[in-house]
A and B are shown apart, each in its own frame.
Chain A
Amino acid sequence: MSIYIHKCNTISVFDSFEDGILAHIHEKGLRKLIEPDYKSIIPAAHLRRMSKVIRMGVAAALKTKTDYLTEGIIVGSGLGCFDNSAIFTKEYLIKREGLLSPTAFIQSTDNTIAGQIGLILKDNSYNITYLHKGIAFENALTDAILLAAENGKNVLLGAVDEKVELFDVKNEKSKYWLGEGASFFILSAQNQNALACIKSCTVISVAPDNITLEIKSFLARNSFKKPDLVLYGNSFLNEFSVPKYIDEIEVVDYSALCGVYFSNSAFGTQLAVEIIASGKYEGKEVKRILLVNNFFDKDFGIIYLTENQHE
């Protein structure tokens, strides 16, 4: 089943929120999230009570939703509202008597992000949240592919993860560093005016030694042509070597651009969509991209994208 991407918005370490990632990709990043002016996007009454991860997700979702009618809100997150769980745990462990404030508890409920988006948009449609570490975005995208085929409408899909200090294993020498970000998409089964097409999304859980073979078999099984570019990323902070998945194809490591976080394959997907929509990368023609998300050398998220034409 193919699905077409019509719009995307990303909050990242690049100034990508207004005009995308590619326009800023050569700017020297400071490895620090560039957040939009939330007040101009999220109604004040809601914004006041939101934690950072909720703000990021809701802002990216609302911006992406502008001008589109959608049916279905699907959010993926590696750790969801994990930071607030630690806050609430400390609160009740320290405060042994008296009343507890429910704010951190409510904000620790992982589907608060999707719920808030539905609430602000007064949207009664399908609403769901996936929370599966490094493959949370692939979980969510698979549902979006199903939903768009079922309802024939536009679907609002996104992924968000905030930086949780606990996971920050600092290593100055490494090209990998702990990041954060939010990326949202409008997708549908219709290809009219679409930016790019996602032909397939799957997760392959194998030992890293076997992944090249598995990817070749994935491409052959689906009769997919050899991609023009491989976008590769780590979604767990560690030193995994970037493998050469298919002979002689250039590999671009998106996790070295956006930082390492569980749902960073959503950033990679927006980058892929922008490259395909522009038709080239670094002067070379690109019509097909294979995105490989390496989670802990254990689960590999595989997304195959093409230009907006049936092959």
Chain B
Amino acid sequence: MKILVTGMGIVSSIGSNVEENFNSLKEGRSGIAIMSDIPNMRKSFLGGQVKMSNKELKNNLGIAENEKVHRSGLFGLMAAKEAWGEREHDLSIRTGIIFGTTVGGVDLSDELINEQLKNKKRAKIDFYKTHDSGFGTDFIAAKMGINEYKATISTACSTAANSIMLGARLIKANMLDRVLAGGAEALSNYTLNGFDSLMLYDTEKCKPFDENRKGLNLGEAGGFLVLENERAASLSGKEKLAELSGWANTCDSYHITASSPEGTGASLAIARALQMANLSVEAIDYINAHGTGTPNNDISEANALFSIFGKNMPPFSSTKSFTGHTLAAAGVVEAIYSVLAIRNNIIFPNLNFNKVMKEISLRPENKLIINRKIKNVISNSFGFGGNCTELIFSE
């Protein structure tokens, strides 16, 4: 059974829809800049912010300003609407939604706890009802009119990739015909301080796979894919954008926040996804790498890639140099960029790359490549807890 991608929606620091994101990628426009407008910041950081306030997002989405919704939920709804497009609900098409964030509405919790610390008052449970991870899924499901199946995944930085994978598995098992699958992540004081406490930041723009990389820049985004089986796709009459031909999820089981130096979990996941898609290493035309820019991730990932592809290494790049690391959303943001690479026969550059890592001679593409036939793309997503998820998109 084929799993078809028939819709995509995205909001990120390089655009508020798919077309704007594509144009920024083509034109080499990064969204990373000094961040502003986040309450209670201890320091200033570089990152990829969506250039819309919550008020603007709510206005665009037709949501009352006083409705309690976290920023990740707003990104999610915006992307869901674009991905869904003009589609009609059809009772014969069993439809589900899978969404994820890493920290849910911690932007709201932050404000609330700050108030409490000032006023020495205990908050009521009601205030917290909109702060958990599942809230965003319920919110988007209700607005999109989906109530047959809903799930919320939380696997740190591979969350949205796992949402897409679960969507495909539910369709393959004939439990659903259509799934809106994705994730969202709003920048918050919480995650900024969290990654700061782990000392994972680059004070300059991140340089994935570069010898002199220092760390990551965070970013915010939301994205959704519409996955359909052939029956649902023919009923909805949407163009098939790509096929999701392979996937795998493994656990690195090396360290709770760091990747193994040799990339054990990642290479195992890539091998399994290739096997499932029934593709040889030579058939892969482009790899959208996880490439966060941290010293640990990039060497681990490079070793994993080399162990699988060796001399047949296809072109690869990390588009986090455009968007920053969008955590729970990264998997769907990069899935969309992978589909765009196939649709447009194009490879997006890895910005800010200058010098090959001394441990391993792998050079990401640092220039835009056009008119290159792209049939199969692998997208890598790794997360805390040792989570490694691979998605393969095919023409």
Contact = CB atoms under 8 A, between A and B. Distances in A.
Co-assembled chains A and B: yes
Contact of A115 (B132, B169, B387): B387
Contacts, number: 171
Interface residues of A, number: 58
A51 interface: no
A127 B125 contact: no
Given A118-B251, A128-B166, A132-B150, 11 more contacts: A73-B251, A105-B193, A105-B194, A124-B250, A124-B252, A127-B386, A129-B153, A131-B152, A139-B152, A149-B173, A203-B149
Nearest to A113: B385
Contacts of B184: none
Contacts of A115: 251, 256, 384-387
Interface stretch (A96-104, A222-230, A248-256, A286-294): A96-104
B169 A131 contact: no
Contact of A119 (B113, B170, B386): B386
B388 to A, nearest CB: 9
A93 B253 contact: no
A1 interface: yes
Interface in B272-311: none
28 contacts: A80-B154, A86-B109, A88-B194, A89-B106, A89-B110, A94-B117, A99-B197, A105-B197, A106-B256, A109-B102, A109-B156, A111-B155, A111-B156, A111-B385, A112-B385, A114-B155, A119-B386, A124-B252, A127-B250, A127-B385, A128-B166, A129-B153, A131-B154, A132-B152, A146-B170, A166-B125, A167-B128, A203-B150
A124 B110 contact: no
Nearest to A82: B132
A30 interface: no
Contacts of A96: 42
B383 A110 contact: no
Contacts of B40: 93
Nearest to B118: A93
Interface in B251-280: 251-257, 264-265, 268
A118 B154 contact: no
Interface string B38-78: 00101000000000000000000000000000000000000
Interface of B: 40, 42, 100, 102-103, 106, 109-110, 113-114, 117, 123, 125, 128, 132-135, 137, 147, 149-156, 162, 166, 169-170, 173, 175, 189-190, 193-194, 196-198, 249-257, 264-265, 268, 383-387
Contacts of A86: 109, 113
A118 B260 CA distance: 14
Contacts of B256: 106, 112, 115-116, 119
A142 interface: yes
A85 interface: yes
B169 A150 contact: yes
A132 B134 contact: yes
Given A1-B173, A80-B154, A86-B113, A124 B253 contact: yes
A125 B250 CA distance: 5
A132 to B, nearest CB: 4
Given A126-B249, A126-B250, A127-B251, A92 B102 contact: no
Contacts of A122: 253
A89 B109 contact: yes
A115 B190 CA distance: 21
A121 B252 CA distance: 11
A258 to B, nearest CB: 20
Nearest to B386: A115
A295 to B, nearest CB: 10
Nearest to B190: A89
A280 B151 CA distance: 34
B384 A132 contact: no
A80 B100 CA distance: 13
A114 to B, nearest CB: 6
B251 A105 contact: no
The 5 closest A-B pairs by CB, nearest first: A115-B385, A132-B134, A118-B251, A127-B251, A105-B194
B254 A119 contact: yes
B151 A109 contact: no
A69 interface: no
A78 B132 CA distance: 9
Contacts of B137: 132
Nearest to A97: B42
Contact of A132 (B133, B169, B268): B133
Contacts of A93: 40, 110, 113-114, 117
A102 B258 CA distance: 13
A86 B122 CA distance: 13
A90 interface: yes
B386 A131 contact: no
A184 interface: no
Contact of A136 (B125, B134, B387): B134
B316 to A, nearest CB: 23
Nearest to B385: A115
A130 interface: yes
A109 B103 CA distance: 8
A273 interface: no
B386 to A, nearest CB: 5
A205 interface: yes
